[in-house]
Amino acid sequence: MANPQPLLCEKAPLKINGLQKTLEIAILFFFVCVLVYRLLSLRDHGFVWLLAFTCESWFAFNWVLTLIIQWTPVEYKTYPHNLLQEYVIHLPPVDMFVTTADAKLEPPIITVNTVLSLLAVDYPTHKLACYVSDDGCSPLTLYSLIEASKFAKLWVPFCKKYHVQVRAPLRYFSDNPILSSYSPSGFLQEWTKMKDEYEKLCQKIEDAVQNLAPLDFSRDNVDFAHIDSRNHPTIIKVIWETKERISNGLPHLVYVAREKHPNHSHHYKAGAMNALTRVSGVMTNAPFMLNVDCDMYANNPKIVLHAMCLLLGFKHEKGAFVQFPQMFYNILKDDPCGSKVDEAVKKIWPGLAGIQGPFYAGTGCFHRRKVIYGSSLTDNEGILASKIHIMCTNRLNKECLGNSPELIRSATQILLEENIDQPDDLSCAVDAAYQVAHSEFEHDTLWGKKVGWVYGSVTEDILTGMKIHARGWKSILCMPEPPGFLGTAPSTIHVMLIQRKRGVTGLLEILFSKNCPIFATLYAKLEFRQCLAYLWILIWGLHSIPDLCYALLPAYCLITNSHFLPKVQEPALIIFAAVFLIKHLNTLHSNLDSGRSIRAWWNQLTVGPWSKILSLTASLFGVITVVFKLLGISEVTFEVTQKEQNSSSSDQEATYDARFTFDESPIFVPATALLFLHFTALVTAALGLQPPAHGVNGAGLGELMCSVWVVLCFWPFVRGLFGEGKYGIPMATIVKSAVLALLFMHFCPKNTTS
């Protein structure tokens, strides 16, 4: 009798906390009660009541979507030791992609640490290849990678010899180094030597960045002489090529700067990923691909093994990609920037895993190459590959993958799931790689449409993942311990606002286009609940409109002496108070359950991803940007955000009180104007300067408390009014905000019947 195949992974339902479920159902119940109360009393009130009802309907709708996502959470368990026992000889090759776009905003040392962590993962090195896409075409990046490859020859054997857990040296050699649980003979000497070598590497890179050590443009950097980062030919360098099957050796390391030309659209990161896919296809052609951002290092050395357990272990439901949640290591004490994503990791991600799978997050993701090439789950790959081959021979290949015979040949192997022979010499494939990285290669092909990363949004990750789900594929969530990848969270509010605005803009681009998930459900294979999940994330930016309206209501009512809430003596006020209290108790419970402080909860409430501040600044401007695009006034641009290296806890403590900064950007005007409006409303109510109310319809305690709550939610802006330098709101912003507030008050009616 044959031995049973070892178990590689398991999928199991995740138990939901009883208190959490009770609170969530209670919130939904009270939302329904609020809407019923509004409907029953709508005739007796005016426009203010109708506006409140509209906003509350939106909030209730969003809460329903949230609950639907969290209905059936699941978790996946992986057993990498079983994979090593049974499949070690037949483990598939993996191509690893690292993307960077600006050597100034994304310092080379950060990219180097990410690359070093990937080169040192626990996987047969001759089956790994690391490609670094440099969309900034910077000689600094290439120089840093060349120097890093020299250090890697010492670093990788050291990590594997002593089973080092954290293999990004920036983090390993931090204030509290994570040493092995044992100290064998010679370990301390090797550790000291390794730290010295890393410091030398950092110094070399820093000298190059500061122009203290001029780069030699006569050798490796000759292609960068007088280079224009926006108009340059393709540059591909094989930095390191592994030719021996050594367990602690180095994987292939290849530098890629795709061609750029001002007359051709380059589609930002999506274009870079497609170029990497083609370059790797003609060079190593691994059936699986990992992509990470330059600041997202491998925190778990067994990440590739965990991913392969899931991609190889589920025969009955093939996963298109395995997604690791995006998590961060540089969260400051009490999370003053509201960057931590505990709630999403604990609730949203497992909930998505129980539907058609998690969203593609753009980093920390393992892909099947054949899925990226456009394969559907129900496709007969043999027929599809034959069609591609026929197109190639009939000179019609430009309609699909482009006019590269090498790429067509490699794609056919992938679609037929043939065994891929590892190349003996990467340099032999460089010429073909140059061809497929050409700026005109995608012209009249399906790249960016049905093949590769999809164009049409600056959030190409969500769009590409949705297209994959629409073809019938599922995705798989992987949450090992320790986490697979860790990155750098936004260190200032300015960076967070840029990220949020870019994200909202891209999501709304998808929503208001032919790529809307509703069409994918009606005409493709996107499941209904998965469609609702995509709608939940795509409408994220639209929350800014009801948020703004609802935040204006208390001030409006205090100024005009009207009301949008029941009076204190009315029992219905309890319903509104219950929604408010239970909703915030729910978030507080989630934070405390994750071991976070009350102050961290408050920071999440004021500046976190779902806060009013981000909603009425970045999200609001994201909506405006998309409206301008739809009207043909302007186009959307991709903004690269500043990445910072910060591994020292002392540095984090030193910068704790200096994170919320302001500038003269108009993005701060709406929130500042709203704050002025509420100050004015509170003073008006306190001094009794309101117009006379009609009967008992004047403003009451509910409106007063809501106005105070809005001020508290925008407390960082209150501090900004009294701050100095970059920590204070600029006078230009204050003047514009004051004018807006005065205009709003001017148009408020002197008498109201609401």
CA pair distance 675, 718, nearest whole angstrom: 8
Domain membership flag for residue 752:
no
Q: Is residue 10 part of a domain?
A: no
Between residues 723 and 119, the one the model is more confident about:
119
421 is in an annotated binding site: no
Give dist(CA 599, CA 589) in Å, integer. 13
59 shares its domain with 158: no
- Within-domain flag for 76: no
341 residue type, one letter:
V
Residues 564 and 478 in one domain: no
Q: Compute the average pLDDT of residues 459-465.
A: 96
The structure tokens listed for 583 are 């909703």
Q: Is 106 annotated as a binding residue?
A: yes
Measuring CA to CA, which residue among 30, 29, 28, 36 is closest to residue 53?
A: 36
Residues 106, 199: one domain? yes
What does the alpha-carbon distance between residue 99 and residue 460 come to, in Å, rounded to a whole number? 14
Q: Are residues 22 and 95 in the same domain?
A: no
**Domain for residue 652, yes or no?**
no
Q: Which residue has the higher pLDDT, 401 or 424?
A: 401
- Does residue 92 sit within a domain? yes
Give yes or no for residue 707 having a pLDDT over 70: yes
Is 643 marked within a binding site? no
pLDDT reported for residue 655: 42
Say yes or no to pLDDT of 753 above 80: no
The per-residue pLDDT for 176 is 53
pLDDT value, residue 615: 92
- Least confident interval from 285-294, 398-407, 427-436, 538-547: 398-407
Same domain, 346 and 457: yes
135 noted as active-site residue: yes
Question: For residues 36 and 49, what is the distance between their CA atoms, to the nearest angstrom?
Answer: 13
For helices 544-560 and 47-69, the axis angle rounded to 10 degrees is: 150
Residue 576, phi-psi category: left (phi > 0), alpha (psi -120 to 50), beta (remainder): alpha
For the residues 352-378, what does the mean pLDDT come to?
92
Q: How many CB atoms lie within 10 A of CB 33?
A: 16
Give pLDDT, residue 425. 81
**320: containing domain:** 81-488
Q: Which of 134, 135, 335, 547 is catalytic?
A: 135
| pLDDT of 241 | 92
Q: What is the pLDDT of residue 416?
A: 82
Q: Are 129 and 177 in a shared domain?
A: yes
Least confident among 187-191, 384-388, 519-523? 384-388
Tell me what the mean pLDDT of segment 241-263 comes to: 87
What ranges in 42-99 are assigned the alpha helix state H?
Answer: 47-69, 80-87
Mean pLDDT for the chain overall: 87
- Give residue 656's pLDDT: 42
Question: Do 606 and 715 meet the contact criterion of CB atoms below 8 Å apart?
Answer: yes
Distance of CA 313 to the CA centre of its chain: 27
- Residue 380: pLDDT above 60? no
Mean pLDDT of 2-19: 81
Query: How do residues 35-64 score in pLDDT, each as one tens digit?
Result: 999 999 888 788 899 999 999 999 999 999
CATH of the domain at 361: 3.90.550.10
Query: Quick check: is 524 in a domain?
Result: no
Q: Residue 652: what pLDDT?
A: 47
Q: Furthest-apart CA pair in the chain: how many Å? A: 91
Confidence label for 371 from pLDDT (cuts 50, 70 and 90): very high
Structure tokens that stand for 459 in this block: 């959030």
The amino acid present at 640, given as its one-letter code, is V
The pLDDT value recorded for residue 382 is: 46
Q: Is 302 among the annotated ligand-binding positions?
A: no
161-168 mean pLDDT: 92
- Residue 279 above 60 pLDDT? yes
675 has pLDDT over 90 = yes
User: Which of 491-495, 666-670, 739-743 has the weakest average pLDDT?
Assistant: 491-495
d(C-alpha 493, C-alpha 716), whole Å: 10
Q: Look at residue 454 and tell me whether its pLDDT is greater than 90.
A: yes
Dihedral of the alpha carbons of 103, 105, 110, 111, in degrees to the nearest 10: -40
Structure token pair of residue 128: 């790994």
Six-digit token string for 374: 């456009």
CB burial of 122-154 (b: ≥16 within 10 Å; e: otherwise) equals bbbbbbbbbbbbbbbbbbbbbbbbbbbbebbee
Mean pLDDT of 593-597: 77
One domain for residues 240 and 334: yes
Q: pLDDT grade, residue 422 (50/70/90)?
A: low
Are 99 and 295 in contact by the 8 Å Cβ rule? The answer is: no
Whether 600 shows a pLDDT value over 90: the answer reads no
The pLDDT of residue 739 is 96
pLDDT for the residue numbered 307: 97
From 102, 134, 335, 461, the catalytic residue: 461
Same domain, 48 and 161: no
Q: Can you give the pLDDT at residue 399?
A: 76
Please count the other Cβ atoms lying within 10 Å of the Cβ belonging to residue 574: 12
What's the rounded Cα separation, in Å, for the pair 351 and 348? 5
User: What is the count of structural domains for the chain?
Assistant: 2
What local confidence, expressed as pLDDT, does residue 654 receive? 41
Asked whether residue 223 falls in the same domain as residue 102, the answer is yes
Q: Which of 464, 488, 512 is the last residue of a domain?
A: 488
Distance CA 132, CA 659 (A): 31
pLDDT computed for residue 212 by the predictor: 65
CA atoms lying within 13 Å on the CB side of residue 99 = 22
Give the range among 68-82, 334-348, 516-530 with minimum mean pLDDT.
334-348
Q: Are 436 and 430 in contact (CB under 8 A)?
A: no
Per DSSP, the three-state class of 281 is helix
What pLDDT does 179 receive?
54
Query: Which of 454, 488, 522 represents a domain boundary (last residue)?
Result: 488
Domain contains 60: yes
How many C-beta atoms surround the C-beta of residue 258 within 10 A? 27
Residue 617 DSSP code: I
Task: Please report the pLDDT score of residue 339 as a whole number.
Answer: 61
Kind of pairing, strands 365-368 and 288-293?
Answer: antiparallel
Say yes or no: 66 and 147 in one domain.
no
Predicted local distance difference test score (pLDDT) of residue 1: 43
Centre a 10 Å sphere on the Cβ of residue 634 and count the other Cβ atoms it contains. Answer: 11
Q: Write out the two tokens for 608.
A: 């976190």
| Average pLDDT over every residue of 374-385 | 62
Same domain, 585 and 697: yes
In sequence order, what E strands does 482-558 have?
485-486
| Mean pLDDT on 668-672 | 95
Residue 335: band (very low, low, confident or very high) from pLDDT cuts 50, 70, 90: low
Which of the residue ranges 13-17, 22-26, 199-203 would you say has the lowest mean pLDDT? 13-17
| Rounded average pLDDT over 703-726 | 92
User: Does the pTM exceed 0.75?
Assistant: yes
Percentage of the chain beyond pLDDT 90 is: 59
Give, to the nearest 10 degrees, the angle between helix 528-538 and helix 47-69.
130
387 inside domain? yes
Overall size of the chain counted in residues:
754
Are residues 136 and 239 located together in one domain of the fold? yes
- The pLDDT of residue 31 is above 90: yes
Residue at a domain's end among 488, 520, 541: 488
